[in-house]
Amino acid sequence: MTERAPPVVSMDAITKTFPGVKALDQVRLDLYAGQVTALVGENGAGKSTTVKILTGIYQPDGGTIRIDGAPIKFANANAAGAAGITAIHQETVLFDELSVAENIFIGHAPRTRLGLIDTAEMHRAAVRLLDSIGAPFDPRTRLRDLGIANKHLVAIARALSVDARVVIMDEPTAALSHKEIAELYELVETLKAQGKAILFISHKFDEIFHIADRYAVFRDGAFVGAGMIADIDEDALVKMMVGRTVDHIFPERQPNVAEDVLQVVGYAHPTEFADINFTLKRGEILGFYGLVGAGRSEFMQSLFGITKPSKGVCKINGQIKVIRSPADAVANGIVYVPEDRGKQGAVIGLPIFQNITLPSLGRTSRSGFLQLAEEFKLARDYAERLDLRAASLDQDVGNLSGGNQQKVVIAKWLATQPQVIILDEPTKGIDIGSKAAVHDFMAELAAQGLSVIMVSSEIPEVIGMSDRVIVMRDGRIEAELADDALTPETLVRHAAGITTPAQMEEA
Amino acid sequence: MTDATSQTRHIPDRLHSRLYATLRSWEALLLAVAVAIFIVNSFTSPYFLNAWNLSDATFNFTEKAMIAFAMALLIIAGEIDLSVASIIALASTAMGFAAQYGAGTPELVIIGLTVGLLCGAFNAFFVTVLGLPSIVVTIGTMSLFRGISFIILGDGAYRGYPADFAWFGQGYVFWVITVEMVLFVIIAVIYGVLLHKTNFGRAVYAIGNNPTGALFSGIRVQRVKFILFLLTGLMSGVAAICLTSRLGSTRPSIATGMELEVVTMVVLGGVNILGGSGSIPGVVIAAFVMGLVTFGLGLLNVPGIVMSIFIGLLLIGVIALPRLWTMIAARRAKP
C-alpha cells in the first residue's frame, strides 16, 4: 500500500511569527505521493501561512521541511518551484491579454537558440499539458475570452508546467459551479494517478470527504491532528476544527433588547444574495457568520447604499427608507465599518481629525463653512473615548497602526450618532490588545442603545459577542441561532451546509 | 494613583504650529523663487520696474490663472480637464457668431458663460455618469470643441464686437489696475475660500486622497466631480470673454495650447498631479512666477520658443529640487 511509503514532503515543527502574532506554532504536515491530503481549519488557523512556507514565499522561523527525507530550505518561490512544489491559488495572477500558452509558460517559456521564445514548441507543450488535464481549448486563445472555470484550468496547467511533484490547491472550487467542480474532481483523480502529492485546502466538508485520502487539522496556528479520512466522520472533524479552550474573555453583557430599529424584508441582488429577511432590535448585537463568499459583505454594502439591491425594502423605526447611496444611509442613521480599512475605511492622506469629521461636517460647520475649532473638539472627544494612540490630531491617518486606524474609522461613525452600526470583520488583522478594546467598546455601545451588526468569521468572537447569529451560505440566510443552539458546531455546520446528525439518522 | 482608566490620554491638536507649517510649505519656497525672479528681472532690464509695463505683463497670466484655480480643484480631486483651451475657442466662436447678429455685451457674456457651462457638463456626463477616465474624455472633447469652431469659421475670423465689450480685456478699473487683474483677485479669493474654508473643499481633498474611502464616508463623490467639471467649464467661459475682448477678434486657433500652460501653472503651484494635495495660494504664486519669467524674458527679447524652454526647465527644476534634496539628505544620513 502507498500508505507505507514515506511522505514526499514532510514539514516538522514549523514555526512562523509575525509582529504580534504567532501564525504557526510547531506544526507538522506530511504529503504522500498519489494521495490527496485535506488541510482543515478555521480562518486564521494558519493554512495560508503553511502554503506560503511550502511555496517559498515565507521562510519559517523554526522547524524543518524535508523532501524525500532530505532537509531543504527554500530561499524564494523559485526554489520551491525547482523542488517540484507548485500551488494553484484562490486567485492566481493570470494575464487577460496574453494567450493561454503564454500564460502557462510565462517566465519559463522554451527558447530558441537565439534566445527568443520558441512559439511552436511552447504551443506543442501547452497542447500536451492541456490534454493531460482534459482542457478542451486552443493554446492560442486569448485568456480573456475564456470563462472562469477554463481560466482555472489554465492556472492548473501553469502550475503543472514546472513538472510538479506536489500540487497545492487552495480553495479551488470557491468560484466554480457544480458541473465545473465535478470536472475538477476528475482532474484531481488524474493527478493522483500520475503519482502527484496533493494538498487540498477547503472549507467544504462534502468536498473533503469526497476527494481526500488524508486529513490534517490546524487550529489557531497549532497542529491538532491528522489521519486517514476513512477513519473519521464529519462530526469528529468539526470538533477537532473548532474545539477550543476560550483564551479571551469577552465582556459580560446584559441584553436589554427593546423595540425593532431595523427591518430588512426580501433583500435580493442578481448575483450576490437573495431573500434576506431579519429584524434588528435596539441595543442588540446581531452576528453574521458564514464562509468567505457567502455574501455577507455584499449584503451589508447594499444596506449601506454602495450597491443597489434588485428587490427588497428596508424599514427604519417602522418607516420605509430608500437608500441609494452611503450618504442616504448615513442620513438615516446606518453606518458601515468596512473590512478593507486602507481602501474603504480611512481616507489615508487626510489628517486624523478630518477623517473623523468627514461625515459630520454638516454639524461642525456653519452654513457650509468649516469651523476648525469645532472639528478638533468633536474629533478629540471620540478619539479619547476610543483611547486612540496618536501623536496629534493633525497627523496623517496613514501613519497609524491598523488597530488605531480602525479606531479612527469607528470614531468617524460614532460621531454621526448613528442608530445602526455595521462592523465588517472589526478585529481582523489587529493585535490582541486592540481587539479587546474594540469588543469592550461594542458592548458599551449596545448598552447605550446602539444596534450593532457584526460580520465576523471568527467563531469565538461571533459566539462571545452576539445576542443572536444569522448564518449565511451561498447568498442566503441558512439559519438564525441564539442561546443554546449557538455553538461552534452548529455555526460550522450551517455555514458549510452539513446536515445535522439527527437528519442523517432519519435518512 | 487613581484609577488609570479614568485618565484619558490627551492628544494635542497639532504637532507643529501653523507658522512652522507655513514656513516649511511649498508655497513659501515658491514665494522665495518669485521674489528672486523679481529681483533678477529688475537688474537685467531697466524697463522692468515700470508700473505700466508690469500692468501689461499681468495679461500673461490672468486669463490662464482664472482657469487654473478651477483646474486646481479638479486635479486635487483626481481628475483633469484638457479641453479648457478648446472650450475657449468654442465659447469665443459662439460669441463672435452672436455678435454678427447684433448681440450686445450682456448677451455675449451670457453666451460665453453658458457655452462654458455646457461644455463642462458634457465632460462631466462622460466622466461621472458613464465612469470614463477624464484624461481620455477631455482629450476627445479637446479636438471636438475646437473642431466645431473650425467648421464654423474655417480660415475666417469674427470681428465687429460691440465697443463696450472691450472693457473686459482692455479696460482699467483704476490707474494701472486692469479689469482682468481685479477679476483674477476676486476669482482667486472665491476659489481659495471654496477649497480651504468650506465642506465642499474638504470633500475635494477627501476624494483626491481616496475616492472609495470618501464614498464610504457618505460623500456624494460623483456629484462633487460633476460640479468641478462645471466650474472648469465656467471659468473657461470667463477666460473666453476676457481673451476675446482683449484680442477683439475670434479665430478657431484662439488659445491653442493653453491647456498645458494651465496645467503647468497648477502643478508649479504645488498641486499633486495625482490628486489629494495642493492649495490656491500656491497656484496664485505660480501664476506670478510664470508671468514674471515670461515678462522678464520678453524684455530681453528672448523669442517665444526659448521662453517655453525656460518655463519647462522651471517646472522640472522646482519640482525636482526638493526631491533631490531629500535624496541627498537621506544618503548623507546613512553611515
Instruction: Please tell me whether residue A63 adopts helix, strand or coil conformation.
Output: strand
Q: Give domain A247-333+418-507's CATH architecture.
A: 3-Layer(aba) Sandwich (3.40)
Q: What are phi and psi of B332, to 5 degrees?
A: -65, -35
Reading the block at residue A408, the C-alpha cell is: 479612527
pLDDT at B9: 66
Chain A residues within an 8 Å CB radius of B225: none
Helix, strand, coil proportions of chain B in percent (round to 5)?
A: 75, 0, 25
The whole-angstrom distance between residue B212's C-alpha and the CA centroid of its chain comes to 26
Q: What is the CA radius of gyration of chain A?
A: 25
Query: Please, where in chain A does CATH 3.40.50.300 lie?
Result: 2-242, 247-333+418-507
Q: How many CB pairs under 8 A join A and B?
A: 109
> By three-state DSSP, how is residue A366 classified?
strand
Q: Dump pLDDT digits (tens) for A49-100.
A: 898 899 888 899 989 999 988 898 888 888 888 888 888 875 567 888 899 9
Task: Examine the pLDDT at A502 and tell me if it is beyond 70.
Answer: no
Under an 8 A CB cutoff, do A376 and B13 touch?
yes
* The three cell numbers locating residue A495: 455555514
State how far the Cα of A143 lies from the Cα of A130, in Å rounded to an integer.
14
Residue-level pLDDT at A214: 93
Contact A302, A267 (CB under 8 A): yes
Q: How close B16 gets to chain A, by Cα (Å)?
A: 9
Instruction: Give A416's contacts in chain B (Cβ within 8 Å).
Output: 218
> Do the chains contact at A365 and B219, CB–CB below 8 Å?
no
What does the pLDDT read at residue B91? 97
Of the residues B13, B25, B212, the best mutation for testing chain A's interface (the one with the most A CB atoms within 10 Å of its CB) is B13
Indicate the pairing of strand A214-219 with strand A319-321: unpaired
Q: What percent of chain A has pLDDT over 90?
A: 27
Chain B residues with CB under 8 Å of A362 CB are 199
pLDDT at B7: 53
Taking CA–CA distances from A391, the nearest residue in chain B reads B11
The DSSP element (H or E) to which A168 belongs, if any, is strand A166-170
- List own/partner pairs for A53-57 with CB under 8 A and 24 or more apart: A53/A11, A53/A14, A53/A16, A53/A24, A54/A9, A54/A11, A54/A80, A54/A85, A54/A87, A54/A166, A54/A168, A54/A199, A55/A80, A55/A81, A55/A85, A55/A86, A55/A87, A55/A168, A56/A80, A56/A81, A56/A85
Q: Does A505 touch chain B (CB under 8 A)?
A: no
Architecture of domain B49-321: Orthogonal Bundle (1.10)
Q: pLDDT tens digits for B19-51? A: 887 777 788 888 998 999 889 988 888 888 888
The whole-number pLDDT of residue B194 equals 96
Residues near A448 by beta carbon (within 8 Å), at least 6 away in sequence: A283
How far apart (Å, rounded) are the C-alpha atoms in residues B122 and A403?
Answer: 44
Q: How far is A122 from chain B (nearest CA, A)?
A: 37
Distance from CA of A347 to the nearest CA of B (A): 5
**Confidence class for position A245, pLDDT limits 50, 70, 90:** very low
For the ranges A86-95, A102-111, A124-133, A242-251, which has the lowest average pLDDT? A242-251
Q: Which chain A residues touch B190 with a CB distance below 8 Å?
A: none
Residues B254-276, mean pLDDT to the nearest whole number: 91
**Distance separating the N- and C-terminal Cα atoms of chain A:** 34
- B161 interface with A at CB cutoff 8 Å: no
Contact present, A60 and A75 (Cβ < 8 Å): no
**DSSP state string for B171-223:** -EEETTEEHHHHHHHHHHHHHHHHHHHBHHHHHHHHHHH-HHHHHHTT--HHH
Distance (Å) from the C-alpha of residue B225 to the closest C-alpha of chain A? 15
Å between B226 CA and nearest CA of chain A: 16
Q: Give the pLDDT mean for B11-24.
A: 80
For the record, the C-alpha cell of A224 comes out as 491538532
Q: Could you tell me which chain A residue has the CA closest to the CA of B8?
A: A384
CA-CA distances (angstroms) from residue B329 to A375, B26, B233, B326, B332? 36, 18, 43, 5, 5
Looking at the complex, does the CB of residue A327 fall below 8 Å from at least one CB of chain B?
A: yes
State whether residue A365 sits within 8 Å of chain B by CB.
Answer: yes
Cα separation, B222 vs B79, whole angstroms:
11
Which percentage of chain B shows pLDDT scores above 90?
Answer: 62
- Residue A246: predicted pLDDT: 43
From residue A184, how far is each of A85, A153, A189, A207, A269 by CA, in Å? 19, 9, 9, 11, 28
Average pLDDT, integer, range A17-22? 71
Residue B4 has pLDDT above 60, yes or no: no
Are A353 and B14 in contact (CB < 8 Å)?
A: no
A310 touches chain B (CB under 8 A): no
Please give the residue that has the higher pLDDT: either A160 or A265: A265
pLDDT-derived band at B187 (thresholds 50, 70, 90) equals very high
What letter would DSSP give residue A228? Answer: E
A383 near B CB under 8 A: yes
pLDDT for B326 equals: 76
Give the range with max mean pLDDT: A179-188, A268-277, A397-406. A268-277
- What's the average model confidence in pLDDT over B239-256? 94
Listed residue (A346, A260, A334) closest to A304, CA to CA: A334
Tell me the mean pLDDT in the region B176-180. Answer: 91
Q: Which one is predicted more confidently, A48 or A63?
A: A63
State pLDDT tens for residues B106-136.
999 999 999 999 999 999 999 999 999 999 9
Q: How confident is the model at residue A263 (pLDDT cuts 50, 70, 90)?
A: very high
DSSP for B255-272 reads: TTTHHHHHHHHHHHTT--
Task: Report the pLDDT value the prediction gives residue A182, as an integer from 0 to 100.
Answer: 79
- Which chain B positions have a beta carbon within 8 Å of A354's beta carbon? 202, 205-206
Please name which of A26, A106, A34, A112 lies closest in space to residue A62, comparing C-alpha atoms: A26
- Which residue from A minimizes the CA distance to B215? A326
Q: Which of the residue ranges A280-284, B137-141, B234-238 would you say has the lowest mean pLDDT?
A: A280-284
Provide the β-strand partners of residue A472.
Answer: A290, A477
Nearest CA in chain B to A386: B8
Please state which CATH number belongs to domain A2-242: 3.40.50.300
Going by pLDDT thresholds of 50, 70 and 90, the confidence category of residue B325 is confident
- Asked if residue B292 has pLDDT above 50, the reply is yes
B218, A348: Cβ pair inside 8 Å?
no
Per-residue b/e over A233-262, b at no fewer than 16 CB within 10 Å? ebeebbebbbeeeeeeebeebeeeeeebbb
Chain B residues 1-20 with a CB less than 8 Å from chain A: 8-15
Q: What are A206-222's pLDDT values in tens digits?
A: 788 889 999 999 988 88
Q: How many CB atoms lie within 10 A of CB A288?
A: 26
Scan for cell 472691450, then name that residue.
Answer: B166
CB-CB neighbors (< 8 A) of B206 in chain A: 347, 350, 354, 358
Determine the residue of chain A that is closest to B10 in CA distance. Answer: A384
At A506, the pLDDT band (50, 70, 90 cuts) reads: very low
Find chain A residues with C-beta within 8 A of B199's C-beta: 361-362, 365, 368-370
Task: Give phi and psi for A364, each to the nearest 5.
Answer: -85, -15
Query: How many other CB atoms are there within 10 angstroms of residue A105's CB atom?
Result: 25
Q: Are the beta carbons of A391 and B15 separated by less than 8 Å?
A: yes
pLDDT of residue B5: 42
Local confidence band at A507 (pLDDT 50, 70, 90 cut-offs): very low
In this complex, the residue of A354, A376, A389 whose CB is nearest that of residue B202 is A354
SS3 (DSSP) at B116: helix
Interchain CB contact of B219 with A (< 8 Å): yes
Contacts (Cβ under 8 Å, ≥6 apart) of A191:
A160, A167, A198
Residues of B in contact with A368 (CB under 8 A): 198-200
Dig out the grid coordinates for B110 from the structure. 451670457
pLDDT of res. A299: 92
**Minimal C-alpha gap between B204 and chain A (Å):** 11
Answer whether A210 touches B (CB < 8 Å).
Answer: no
- The residues pairing with A217 across neighbouring beta strands, listed in sequence order, are A40, A225
Residue numbers of B between 251 and 280 with CB closer than 8 Å to A: 276-277
Closest CA to A194 of A157, A225, A165, A230: A165
**Contact call for A383 and B11, based on CB within 8 A:** yes
- Region B275-294: mean pLDDT is 92
pLDDT band at A398 (very low <50, low <70, confident <90, very high): confident
pLDDT for residue A248: 57
Q: Which residue of A has its CA nearest to B276?
A: A349
Q: What is the DSSP letter of A201?
A: E
The rounded mean pLDDT for chain A is 85
A490-498 average pLDDT score: 84
CB spacing of B198 vs A389 below 8 angstroms:
no
The per-residue pLDDT for range A338-394, each reduced to its tens digit, is: 988 778 889 998 999 999 999 999 888 998 899 999 999 999 999 888 888 888 898
* Per-residue pLDDT at A118 exceeds 70: yes
The alpha carbon of residue A315 is apart from the nearest alpha carbon of chain B, in Å, by: 20
Q: What is the pLDDT of residue A429?
A: 65
ipTM (interface predicted TM)? 0.84
